[in-house]
Structure 1
Amino acid sequence: MVKPLRDRDRDQDQDRDRDRDRDRGPDTAEGPGPTASPRLSPQPAAAPADGFASSDDEAAEEEASPLHISWLSLSPLYSSEFLGLCSLPGCRFKDVRRNLQKDIGELKSCGIQDIFVLCTRGELSKYRVPNLIDSYQQHGMCVHHHPIPDGNAPDIATCCKILEELRTCLENKRKTMIQ
């Protein structure tokens, strides 16, 4: 009877291993030959509670500089109001290592009451601040989340809604930030 090809190959491999082990012997300098260990599938490491297991975050130092806020004067329309613009608090991406709690503390000390967040949830995760919106709310800030994918423009309905909410905040003299 003719054996299928895969059975013949397996038998030849076993014969070759047996011959190698017999020739080597127990007293050779090489010692016993390599033994095949059972194949283990890679197991993912347990992720920390915040959902990220990046060792890069642990090695890099946090930025000591305060969160930079650019203030736009709205004097022609709203005589005493300013609109703040800043980068993403707590961002941890590439060479940026912000401290979320410190950055939120700085926003609070500036008296920020309303924050317009234009990042998508996916972008917030990418920049290691997936709970940013919740953190703002826990600190008593009113969040206006209008996700616009990076590089895109909002549709006209979304744009009108953002502008209407922004106008309401400014007319009510609420210190407002966009990021």
Structure 2
Amino acid sequence: MNIPANAALLFLPFVLPICLYVTFTDLRAMKIKNQAVYALFAVFVIGGLFVLPPWSTTWSSATVGPWSISLPPYIWHLLHVVPALAIGILFYLMRQMGAGDAKFLAAASPFIWPGDYFLVVLILATMNVAALVTHRLASFTGLRSFAPDWKSWTRARHIPMGLSLGGSLALYLILGTVYGS
């Protein structure tokens, strides 16, 4: 994994409660609250200054058409939000994802290190299948009577994506603490 283990370890205690909250609220109300998205983004904006201080890291360059752009890694990570939000909005417009899911995806994107993109896609795909199977199976057990008012039980065509999105980010950071560079 390309994420440094110390970076994953520093982010994890702040990100994990947000991921758990997102999972819970999406299961209960089929909504990811804006304050959770803002909090997640704030964790990177503030924590990223300590993990990837722009004033003490070497800048990296990228070529976009005829222009060469050189920025600190902290800024490159923040720029992940733009394509992630665009992809999320596209999925929202195709009715494949909720708006809160798209916003959460964008807020989570700065935490992903370049070089780990394929791994994160695999984690997300696996978590989507696991969330679907687990949620559907749980709806036929006594767990449903434990939380009978959850909206996710009655949405036959939709699954709470917060379960897989929050779980994917948490799992990525947990794996990063163990196997990170």
TM range (shorter): under 0.3
Structure 1 or 2: more strand by fraction: 1
Tell me: higher relative CO, structure 1 or 2? Use CA pairs within 8 A at least 6 residues apart: 2
TM (normalized to structure 1)?
A: 0.24
Instruction: Specify the structure having the higher radius of gyration (Cα).
Output: 1
TM (normalized to structure 2)?
A: 0.23
Structure 1 or 2: more helix by fraction: 2
